[in-house]
Amino acid sequence: MTDLFDIKGKVALVTGATHGLGMAMAKALAEHGATLVINGHTPSKMEAALEAYKNEGIDAKGYLFDVTDVSAVNQNIAQIEEDLGPIAILVNNAGVIMRVPALEMEPDDFRKVVDVDLVSPFILAQAVAKSMVKRGGGKIINICSMMSELGRDTVSAYAAAKGGLKMLTRNLATEWAKYNIQVNGIGPGYFATEQTAPIRVDGHPFNDWIISRTPAGRWGDPSDLAGAVVFLSSKASDFVNGQILYVDGGILATIGKPQD
């Protein structure tokens, strides 16, 4: 019997995988047999990350490059394919967030957020798709957000970029489905990571609000993304194109409930 979720030996590149949700998804792919390639841009973080993967028995290969730099991306993609073979799975996870009220947001900072969170996934997708087309297929997974659907105070640039990333996903899926490339997204809800640590403290109004706003009644654990990323990387999703799979404990399903 063939295993629908089998990704053994497939080369998977996860950007921004030196920590957080990127690292959790990268581990899930490696644990299901993928050859793991991680990208980062800070040498010290990369070193620590490779050590952390090793401690869990994962032999991750690290490539340091800036995902917004077109020539660095193209060079590194070519190098990865030369070193390890064709990239079968790309997870566009690298991202930044700035929490600044829109009236105070510097247009240059807005541009920087859009560059990392929206333009770079396009650059990476184009770079890997060129060889995926020649090889007859591949999987591209864009990491979206609750802010692909919803607004929130202070995150105008992030929401604009993540909403854009949802439409980029649909558009690339439209153009590349005929090449057997499935482009989909994962939309994490509110997860317990370093990024949300300052707002997750017990008794903090944001912490209490998120827990009550989430039907599942808790923050997501990074390991909650494992099933979604393996599904969208495997042949189980070969006829799934342009979807955003929200892993959010039900946030988007509900308007919420009144506070007591």
Active site residues: 158
| Residue 207 contacts ligand GCO per CB under 6 A | no
d(CA 6, CA 238): 12
Cβ neighbourhood burial of 198 (10 Å; 0-12, 13-18, 19+): exposed
Q: Which of 138/188 has CB closer to ligand GCO?
A: 188
Q: Which amino acid, residue 209?
A: W
Show the tokens assigned to 257: 């409930």
Question: Minimum distance from CB of 195 to Ca ion (Å)?
Answer: 5
Question: Minimum distance from CB of 17 to ligand GCO (Å)?
Answer: 16
Residue linked to tokens 């827990």: 211
Question: Minimum distance from CB of 117 to Ca ion (Å)?
Answer: 11
Q: Interface mask (CB under 5 A) for Ca ion, residues 179-208, using x and -?
A: ----------------x-------------
Could you say which residues in the range 131-160 bind ligand GCO, by CB under 6 A?
A: 145-147, 152, 155, 158
| Residue 100 contacts ligand GCO per CB under 6 A | no
Task: From the list Ca ion, ligand GCO, none, pick the one residue 20 interacts with, judged by a Cβ distance below 5 to 8 Å according to partner type.
Answer: Ca ion
187 with 146: CB under 8 angstroms? yes
Q: Which of 48/84 has CB closer to Ca ion?
A: 48
Nearest in space to 195 (alpha carbons), one of 222, 159, 223: 222
Write 252-260 long-range contacts (CB < 8 A, 24+).
252/146, 252/149, 252/150, 252/187, 252/189, 253/215, 254/215, 256/212, 256/213, 257/212, 259/212
Question: Minimum distance from CB of 172 to Ca ion (Å)?
Answer: 23
d(CA 5, CA 180): 17
Question: Minimum distance from CB of 248 to ligand GCO (Å)?
Answer: 7
Q: Which of 176/219 has CB closer to ligand GCO?
A: 219
d(CA 42, CA 109): 20
| Residue 20 contacts Ca ion per CB under 5 A | yes
Could you say which residues in the range 171-200 bind ligand GCO, by CB under 6 A?
A: 188-190, 195-196
Q: With contacts defined by CB under 6 A, how many residues of the chain interact with ligand GCO?
A: 13
Residues facing residue 186 across a β-bridge: 143, 245
Report the interface residues with ligand GCO, using CB under 6 A: 97, 99, 145-147, 152, 155, 158, 188-190, 195-196
Report the interface residues with Ca ion, using CB under 5 A: 20, 195
